[in-house]
């Protein structure tokens, strides 16, 4: 696949782009490096002013940016607007807090004065996915720019207009030329960009295979990486849970972004005593979801981002059936009502689907399904719930529902994941660190931790 905007709701190719050649890539890296030499000397106050200006542009033009995203990757337009607003919020958060996070820290030693200071590393490469085309980039860029680094964005090949719009925002906000650039390149150029000595580190959000490949390339160059990879987050509902709220949240947590979120709840683990009631309510709510043109505000579920994802999700549901699973609702892309609409008949629509009865040890039960498909498991008690939740190679987020403090404390302590949300759905928040363990990756974004990933933690000792 080349670099192109192809509307996933209609199949229409809107615009294609020529990827940059080696000469243009080298020039862009050069511009970034030259920019860094100046930019690193700018004050935090100046950077904050530019970042607030970027936030203002995002808010003023949110409807335009939201439409760009929806047309490129199919997320419902209302969610796209919220995403742009969240980007403005992360810009303001780091503009207002970076000085505090980056302040030198005095440490008493045998020196007359010893302290730790934080300095920028230089040009940072960001390899980003299409599922949150603005948010993924801004949550990297805001802290990186405040810390004095400059950014090079290699965005997913199906969201080039989002990628160009983001670089344009930073430029119009007043950041110097080269402080944040978009490189329209395919994945095949990533290793050579990392190998360039002027590029000092890289972050990748995406699949395990892309993360492993980037980390390997960076490893041979002894360069730091942050990896935000896949997840198969558990959503545990125990007997004491507030069932109505848990079910309503379960729908949002699985369906957000047409089911294509790394922190979507993917495996629903429900205590046997309430499993029938939970299942019945969940099926009812799935049946009520409106699937269709994501540009319409009343639509809950748009198309999957590409035909390949549609095919993969369908194959995974077929694997669930082959392993003994039972489809309670959905499961048939040909039965989606959009098939009958001439304008949408070529869209990548997949129906909201629930699969039950899957053997806990089936291979497919441990895979990430990147679409609107929930797998439902029954467990006898808390011990079984925790064991099943942890029986995955991933460790990104987790959500658990209980009113019993002792159960809550065990879930918090024993779930193997980068986050545990009790009686709420997993979400990213500029104030809280975000990231995973196991094959979900390493490093953290957001919070005070996120801004310290791409800095030199310099020890200073003076006598």
Catalytic (active-site) positions: 228, 262
The strand pair at 113-120 and 455-462 is best described as antiparallel
Minimum CB distance to ligand NAP smaller for 190 or for 274: 190
Minimum CB distance to ligand NAP smaller for 15 or for 456: 15
Minimum CB distance to ligand NAP smaller for 213 or for 390: 213
Q: How far is the CB of 252 from ligand NAP (least distance, A)?
A: 17
Instruction: Give the list of residues 6+ apart from residue 342 with CB closer than 8 angstroms, or none.
Output: none
> Can you tell me the distance from the alpha carbon of 5 to that of 180, in angstroms, rounded to the nearest whole number?
22
Structure tokens at 349: 């629509």
Structure tokens at 401: 């529902």
> Can you tell me the distance from the alpha carbon of 170 to that of 183, in angstroms, rounded to the nearest whole number?
14
Q: How far is CA 110 from the centre of its chain?
A: 45
Sign of CA dihedral 126, 82, 162, 254: positive
CA torsion, points 354, 378, 284, 245, in degrees to nearest 10? Answer: -120
Q: Give the number of other CB atoms < 10 A from CB of residue 78.
A: 16
Minimum CB distance to ligand NAP smaller for 184 or for 238: 184
Minimum CB distance to ligand NAP smaller for 166 or for 396: 396
The residue ranges of DSSP E strands in 183-301, in sequence order, are: 199-205, 224-228, 233-237, 265-271
> Can you tell me the distance from the alpha carbon of 363 to that of 416, in angstroms, rounded to the nearest whole number?
19
Q: Which residue's Cβ lies closest to ligand NAP?
A: 206
Minimum CB distance to ligand NAP smaller for 8 or for 129: 129
> Can you tell me the distance from the alpha carbon of 18 to that of 301, in angstroms, rounded to the nearest whole number?
31
Q: How far is the CB of 236 from ligand NAP (least distance, A)?
A: 20
Residue linked to tokens 């000595």: 197
Instruction: Give the list of residues 6+ apart from residue 459 with CB closer than 8 angstroms, or none.
Output: 114, 116
Q: How far is the CB of 204 from ligand NAP (least distance, A)?
A: 6
> Can you tell me the distance from the alpha carbon of 173 to that of 46, in angstroms, rounded to the nearest whole number?
11
Q: Give the number of other CB atoms < 10 A from CB of residue 335.
A: 9
Q: How far is the CB of 394 from ligand NAP (least distance, A)?
A: 9
Q: How far is the CB of 370 from ligand NAP (least distance, A)?
A: 6
Instruction: Give the list of residues 6+ apart from residue 129 with CB closer than 8 angstroms, or none.
Output: 136, 156, 205, 206
Residues lying near ligand NAP in the complex (CB under 6 A): 127-131, 154-157, 186-187, 190, 204-207, 210, 213-214, 228-231, 262, 368, 370, 396, 436, 441
Minimum CB distance to ligand NAP smaller for 148 or for 395: 395
Q: How far is the CB of 50 from ligand NAP (least distance, A)?
A: 25
Are 351 and 258 a contacting pair, CB within 8 Å? Answer: no
Sign of CA dihedral 367, 372, 378, 383: positive
Q: How far is the CB of 288 from ligand NAP (least distance, A)?
A: 27
């Amino acid at each position: 696949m080349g670099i192109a905007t192809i509307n996933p709701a209609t199949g229409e190719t809107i615009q294609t782009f020529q990827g940059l050649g080696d000469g243009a890539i080298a020039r862009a890296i050069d511009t970034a490096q030259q920019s860094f030499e100046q930019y690193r000397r700018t004050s935090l106050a100046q950077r904050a002013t530019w970042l607030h200006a970027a936030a203002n542009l995002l808010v003023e033009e949110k409807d335009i940016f939201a439409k760009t995203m929806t047309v490129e990757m199919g997320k419902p337009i209302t969610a796209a607007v919220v995403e742009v607003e969240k980007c403005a919020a992360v810009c303001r958060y780091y503009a207002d807090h970076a000085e505090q996070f980056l302040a030198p820290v005095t440490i008493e030693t045998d020196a007359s004065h010893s302290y730790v200071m934080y300095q920028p590393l230089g040009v940072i490469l960001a390899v980003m996915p299409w599922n949150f085309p603005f948010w993924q980039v801004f949550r990297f860029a805001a802290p990186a720019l405040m810390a004095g680094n400059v950014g090079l964005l290699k965005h997913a090949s199906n969201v080039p207009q989002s990628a160009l719009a983001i670089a344009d925002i930073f430029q119009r906000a007043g950041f110097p030329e080269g402080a944040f650039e978009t490189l329209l390149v395919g994945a095949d150029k990533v290793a050579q960009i990392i190998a360039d000595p002027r590029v000092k580190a890289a972050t990748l959000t995406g699949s395990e295979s892309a993360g492993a490949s980037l980390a390997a390339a960076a490893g041979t160059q002894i360069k730091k990486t942050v990896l935000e990879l896949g997840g198969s987050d558990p959503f545990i509902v125990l007997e004491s849970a507030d069932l109505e709220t848990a079910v309503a949240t379960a729908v949002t947590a699985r369906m957000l972004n047409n089911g294509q979120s790394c922190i979507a709840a993917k495996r629903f683990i429900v205590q046997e005593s309430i499993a029938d009631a939970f299942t019945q309510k969940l099926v009812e709510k799935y049946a009520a979801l409106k699937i269709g043109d994501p540009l319409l505000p009343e639509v809950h579920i748009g198309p999957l981002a590409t035909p390949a994802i549609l095919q993969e999700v369908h194959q995974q549901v077929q694997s669930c059936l082959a392993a003994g699973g039972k489809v309670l609702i959905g499961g048939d892309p040909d039965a989606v009502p959009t098939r009958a609409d001439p304008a949408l008949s070529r869209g990548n629509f997949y129906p909201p689907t629930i699969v039950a009865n899957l053997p806990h040890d089936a291979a497919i039960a441990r895979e990430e399904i990147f679409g609107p498909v929930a797998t439902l498991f029954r467990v006898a008690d808390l011990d079984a719930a925790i064991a099943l939740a942890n029986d995955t190679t991933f460790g990104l987020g987790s959500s658990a529902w209980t009113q019993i403090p002792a159960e809550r404390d065990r879930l918090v302590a024993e779930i193997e994941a980068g986050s545990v949300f009790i009686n709420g759905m997993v979400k990213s928040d500029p104030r809280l660190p975000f990231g995973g363990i196991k094959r979900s990756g390493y490093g953290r974004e957001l919070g005070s931790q996120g801004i310290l990933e791409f800095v030199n933690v310099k020890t200073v000792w003076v006598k």
